[in-house]
Amino acid sequence: MGLDDVVIVGMAETDLGVVTDRGPMELGVQATKLALDDAGLDLRAIDGLITCNSLVHPVMYHAEATAEYLGIEPRHCLSVGTGGGTTFTALRYAAAAIQTGMAHTVVVSMADSMRSFMTRERAMIVQASSGHPLYEQPYGPTVPAYYALIARAHMAEFGTTEEQFAEAMVSSREWSAMNPTAQYRERITVNDVMTSKPIADPLKMLDCSIVSDGGAAIVLTSRERAADLPHAPISILGYGEGHSYEHISQSKNLTTSAALRSGQLAYADAGLTARDIDIAQLYDCFSPALLIQLEDLGFCDKGEGGAFLQSGATRPGGSLPVNTHGGMLSHCHPGNPGAMFGLTEAIAQFRGLAGPRQQQDPQHILLHAQGGIMSSHATVILGRGV
């Protein structure tokens, strides 16, 4: 069985943004059940379950605990932890389980409650603990400071401006303004970003992703089994990973990431190039992260990411629609599950359900996510099922 014989047949999102009446486990379980409903299946159909642990309420065996909550005993359980890149790593593990016969129908479910259940003290511990214990943590930087280093490096090497970074948020709000589920929908200008609260020079508040609660899940099975289900299957055409370091102090190059490698592998797997991509759903945790992904994934030349954003190419009507749901800068970002919503948006675009932000007949959608500080990268290319 090839990779493209594994297809996506169901998806769902929970309520997003501020959800005070359900914690991470409840949101994950809700997303799982809703995704199964969407796929026309019930809990008995699941024989594989892949989850990501919660940063707010971590448990030792997260996938098993989720299965216990659901009242199921799947053949295959796995908790994946590659930070923000977990969504697509988990997607590939799910496909591999089906390819090898470890499971026939797998749910990938992720949720967290960073907005309502994460205390300030816990948030600072999580932020500070991301650094190397010897070479980074003693100096007190948090995650925004690490991305500020990347921004400064790009500015120094290529002349990128703060205003060009600001275009990332402007683009995201153009999309989120058309998405009723987005946490923030008010359109903003470059000046709004430039005058927002300084966070870590040169990054401002509006260069940074939002903080959210929420969950999402997808259902995968074989193409053969999908024939009896209600939705047209969505194919996994290509996949690639890239891992260049864990801690940013060990990076050899702050302006080129392992997205270069993961993208090359995914394109080769799918037999496609960047020119064949109709929509890109990228990991916009901070504006410089989005800009570097655009370059490394081949949508513009190295050093031209700022000009590419400034041209309006990623906005509605542009040459490369990016994060058509609003991304993590505007739609939602509940921590490690953040990339799940680019995935559910891609499925909505293939199904023609995206309303005013719907793109005309997309054939190929590229999704990319990264964990750590531009450390661990995964790229997926999806296509219409045939």
Average pLDDT of the chain, as a whole number: 95
Each residue of 20-31: pLDDT tens digit? Answer: 999 999 999 999
Question: How far apart, in whole angstroms, are the C-alpha atoms of residue 122 and residue 374?
Answer: 23
β pairing state of 234-243 and 376-384: antiparallel
Each residue of 265-277: pLDDT tens digit? Answer: 999 999 999 999 9
Residue 376's pLDDT band (boundaries 50, 70, 90)? Answer: very high
The pLDDT, as a whole number, for residue 177 is 98
Percent of the chain with pLDDT strictly greater than 90: 90
Domains identified in the chain and CATH numbers: 3-118+212-226 (3.40.47.10)
Query: Who's near 249: CB < 8 A, 6+ residues apart?
Result: 132, 135, 136
Q: Is 321 helix (H, G, I), strand (E, B) or coil?
A: coil
Q: Is 242 helix (H, G, I), strand (E, B) or coil?
A: strand
Each residue of 312-369: pLDDT tens digit? Answer: 999 999 999 999 999 999 999 999 999 999 999 999 999 999 999 999 999 999 999 9
If one counts every other C-beta atom within 10 angstroms of the C-beta of residue 134, the result is 9
Q: pTM for the full model?
A: 0.96
